[in-house]
Structure 1
């Protein structure tokens, strides 16, 4: 497991959000509400989808699966001039990210994240930074397909 360490420029996103936790994690309803209306967003940068987690401060220091966080289904936009009804805007601030390439369906994702936070991160020169975490679901993403590919972006800073 070797991520790319990447400097991210600020990103503007528009999408739908929902509060949830990992104990009862289920993002299906969020994506079901977003996908039929995403065509209303007129100033998209690309066809990529963003699956974003906005955690409260200290979330990873004292991990508790019952702690509530914001989950977003969104797309990147050029500006916030036209935000459709029932959607919200989110700015992902610039900063450093560890970018992991993930291949497989969602069933292997918990073990992959466990290896990031349980093995890679503690043995790296970095700690988690307090910025949104996200996955980019690009052209190689195929829901439920074992050959699906996506990028996992974890915000980091030096220890």
Structure 2
């Protein structure tokens, strides 16, 4: 599951966001906005899609199914010279991340998060940094209900 630690440079991204909770997850709405409009993005860095979360500083223990957070559906772009109408700009700050591989359906995802936050992190030399968390859905992402799908989970650390 754990792949590596990596320090990234800042990234420019565009897409859509929504306030949501785990108990009343509205994430599908922003993906329904983004996916039909991908062809409008003229300066994408790659075909990778980013599912990004901004939390409000809660610890793993404090986070509950009703804790509100902001969820983004994004594409990394070279610059903001061409931003399609109604897209939001998002600047992902540089920093160090622990990178994990999630393989399986979205229903399997709680096992991955439990491993990251309840097992790996407490036994590592790192703590969570107050930066966005994100998942990268690249070439091996086959859809959230496919048991063979893979996505990278990036957790900000310090």
TM-score normalized with structure 2 length: 0.93
Asked if residue 42 in structure 1 is aligned to residue 37 in structure 2, the reply is no
Post-superposition shift, 1:142? 0.5
Q: Is the contact between residue 15 and residue 38 of structure 1 (CA under 8 Å) also seen in structure 2?
A: no
Structure 1 counterpart SS, 2:53: strand
2: distance between equivalents of 1:48 and 1:117? 25
2: distance between equivalents of 1:16 and 1:150? 20
2: distance between equivalents of 1:118 and 1:125? 14
The C-alpha deviation readout for 1:122-143, integer Å capped at 9, x for no partner, is 1111111111110000011000
1: distance between equivalents of 2:11 and 2:28? 24
Quick check: 123-132 or 63-72, which moved more?
63-72
Structure 1 counterpart SS, 2:107: helix
1: distance between equivalents of 2:28 and 2:63? 23
Instruction: After TM superposition, list the pairs within 5 Å mapping 1:52-131 onto structure 2.
Output: 52-56=52-56, 58-60=57-59, 62-131=62-131
The count of residues paired between Structure 1 and Structure 2 equals 156
Unaligned stretches of 5+ residues in structure 1: none
Structure in which a larger fraction of residues adopt helix: 2
TM-score normalized with structure 1 length: 0.92
C-alpha RMSD over aligned residues? 1.3
Unaligned stretches of 5+ residues in structure 2: none
